[in-house]
Amino acid sequence: MDQQNQASGGEDPNKPYKRKSNEDESKNKKLRDRITSFRKTGTKKEKPLIQHPTDPQSTQAELPVPQPLFDDRSMNLSEKEIIDLFEKMMEDMNLNEERKAPLRGKDLSTKREMVVQYISATAKSITGSKVAGGLRNSKHECTLSSQEYVHELRSGISEDKLLNCLESLRVSLTSNPVSWVNNFGHEGLGLLLDALEKLLDKKQQEGIDKKNQHKLIQCLKAFMNNKYGLQRILGDERSLLLLARAIDPKQTSMMTEIVKILSAVCIIGEENILDKILAAMTIAAERNNKERFASIVEGLENHEAQQLQVACMQLINALVTSPDDLDFRIHLRNEFLRCGLKKILPELKETEELDIQLKVFNENKDEDAIELSHRLDDIRAEMEYPFEVYHLLSNMVKDTGAENYFLSILQHLLLIRNDYYIRPQYYKVIEECVSQVVLHRSGMDPDFGYRERLDVDFSILIDQCVDKAKVEESEQRAAEFSKKFDEEFSARQEAQAELQKQEEKIKELEAQVRALQTQLTSERNKLKEAQRLLSETDSKDKPLELKGRRRRSRFRGAGRRGRHPYKAREQLIEILETGPRARRTAARRNSLERRSGPGQ
The lowest-confidence range among 1-5, 185-189, 308-312 is: 1-5
Kind and range of the H or E element at 78?
none
User: Exposed e or buried b for every residue in 99-122, given b needs 16+ CB within 10 A?
Assistant: eeeebeeeeeeebbebbbebbbeb
Kind and range of the H or E element at 252?
helix 252-268
Mean pLDDT, to the nearest integer, of 547-555?
Answer: 63
Q: What CA–CA distance (Å, rounded) separates 275 from 271?
A: 9
Between CA 441 and CA 449, with CA 445 as vertex, the angle to 5 degrees is: 140
Q: What CA–CA distance (Å, rounded) separates 243 from 286?
A: 15
pLDDT tens string 7-45: 444 444 444 434 444 455 454 454 444 444 333 334 444
* Confidence band, pLDDT 50/70/90 cuts, at residue 540: confident
Calculate the CA dihedral of residues 323, 324, 329, 332 and round it to 10 degrees: -20
Q: Distance between the two ends of the chain, CA-based, in angstroms?
A: 113
136 class by beta-carbon count within 10 Å (0-12 exposed, 13-18 middle, 19+ buried): middle
Given a contact cutoff of 8 angstroms between Cβ atoms, the answer to whether 137 and 174 are in contact is no
pLDDT at residue number 41 = 39
Q: What CA–CA distance (Å, rounded) separates 159 from 387?
A: 71
pLDDT at residue number 541 = 67
E runs forming strands in 272-345: none
pLDDT at residue number 263 = 92
Given a contact cutoff of 8 angstroms between Cβ atoms, the answer to whether 32 and 24 are in contact is no
Q: What CA–CA distance (Å, rounded) separates 442 from 334?
A: 10
Q: Beta-carbon neighbour count of residue 364 at 10 Å?
A: 16
pLDDT at residue number 596 = 63
Return the top range by mean pLDDT from 103-112, 193-202, 429-438. Answer: 193-202
Q: What CA–CA distance (Å, rounded) separates 65 from 392?
A: 71
Give CA separation, 131 vs 162, 400, 535, in Å: 17, 69, 164
pLDDT at residue number 120 = 65
Task: Inform me whether the pLDDT recorded for 281 exceeds 90.
Answer: yes
* Confidence band, pLDDT 50/70/90 cuts, at residue 331: confident
pLDDT at residue number 95 = 66
Q: What CA–CA distance (Å, rounded) separates 467 from 461?
A: 10
pLDDT at residue number 542 = 66
Find, among 169, 282, 278, 280, the residue nearest to 229 by Cα.
Answer: 169
pTM of the model: 0.54
3-state secondary structure of 396: helix
Q: HSE of 272 in the Cβ direction (CA atoms, 13 Å)?
A: 6
Q: Give one word for 234, left, alpha or beta, with left for phi > 0 and alpha for psi -120 to 50.
A: alpha
pLDDT at residue number 434 = 79
Q: What CA–CA distance (Å, rounded) separates 217 from 258?
A: 7
pLDDT at residue number 126 = 52
Task: Inform me whether the pLDDT recorded for 451 exceeds 80.
Answer: no
Given a contact cutoff of 8 angstroms between Cβ atoms, the answer to whether 267 and 220 are in contact is no
Give CA separation, 451 vs 454, 455, 486, 515, in Å: 9, 12, 57, 99
Task: Inform me whether the pLDDT recorded for 214 exceeds 90.
Answer: yes
Q: What CA–CA distance (Å, rounded) separates 9 from 220?
A: 26
Return the top range by mean pLDDT from 94-98, 189-193, 230-234. Answer: 189-193
Task: Inform me whether the pLDDT recorded for 450 exceeds 60.
Answer: no
Alpha helix stretches (DSSP H) within 93-145: 97-104, 108-127
pLDDT tens string 245-276: 999 999 999 999 999 999 999 888 777 889 99
Give CA separation, 251 vs 28, 31, 547, in Å: 52, 48, 159
Task: Inform me whether the pLDDT recorded for 325 exceeds 50.
Answer: yes
When the pLDDT of each residue in the chain is averaged and rounded to a whole number, the result is 74
pLDDT at residue number 237 = 84
Kind and range of the H or E element at 74?
helix 72-75
Dihedral of alpha carbons 377, 378, 379, 384, sign: positive
